Structure 1
Amino acid sequence: MSFPENVLAQDEKVVRHLHPHWFTVLLPTVVGVVVVAAAVIALLVLPDGSVGTVLLWVVLGAAAFVLLLFVLAPYVRWRSTHYVITTHRVMVRRGVLTKSGKDITLAKITDVSFRQTLLDRLIGAGSLHIESAGDSPDEDLVNVPDSDDVQQLINRLVDEDSRGRRGEGG
């Protein structure tokens, strides 16, 4: 899925468009499988008759609630979180019903650092901390796939942007 071109400046190009690492939705996937399995088992073992029917509806209602809250919501949150790196800025977009976003121009980025736990290193993810000049707070991008490569990419783009602004070319 590409990022909408209508948010880009005329000469701006998307260099990298990321969502948080797939590991973000692993636990909700496991929860979903367990809930569906439990609902199927309940369907098979609950007795016939009115008591069994009421219990079945309670189990199915609880399963639907858990699936919506603990499975579907994290998937939607994951897919609606965008980390977009362009030739001019780093954009962060989050949310479906309530959207939020932040753009940090490359010229305002003063430092980019990454952090990886042991698990992050095993799955190839990490967190990025982007410090920016000015009044706006720094930005933390969590569960970024290939965070060390993304950090290097942003640093390279910041350097290229700085050289371009000084007239040194790329």
Structure 2
Amino acid sequence: MRQTLDTVWQRRGTSWIWDEEARNQVCAASEVWSLRQLLRAVGHWPEDLPSNDNNTLVVAGLEGCLDLLTPADAEAWLGDVIKDAILSFQSHYEGEVALIFWLPSGQGRIKVNPATEAVTWRCSAPHGQEALDFGRVLWGEALDYPQEVLLREGAKPAGLFHLRIT
């Protein structure tokens, strides 16, 4: 998977970030929206975003919602509700701002297959042996796969960044 040291993920596209240092680069904890706030805003997006000089919206709560659903229901909800919210956000702001999903346990839950670059989400108990086809559901395994976000050369990935989901 390609990697990026560029900070474009802080101003454009959609990211899934699990590194607290990375999150702190774009927002204060008090600026993070709940997933409920995001879903309520679909179709009624605010003129100003709360973070990073009006360039970023950081949202928490996705992983908790995924954990409450069965894997089949979680995958359907991810593809129907969350993808629609991402597409609405991208369309409204014309791809000129960033939507970041804050996933504190994402490093242990998002897995990238090195051979195929397929991205999966490891489910929680009692479905811990199952995984959601995260990449296929959200970006259709497009040829422009997401990039791993690096905060510095040689560091572990802080998250995944995708410039535009279609």
Fold match, TM over 0.5? no
Task: Report the structure number with the largest CA radius of gyration.
Answer: 1
Q: TM-score, normalised by structure 1?
A: 0.24
Q: TM-score, normalised by structure 2?
A: 0.25
Q: Structure 1 or 2: larger strand share?
A: 1
Q: Which has the higher contact order (CA 8 A, sep 6+)?
A: 2
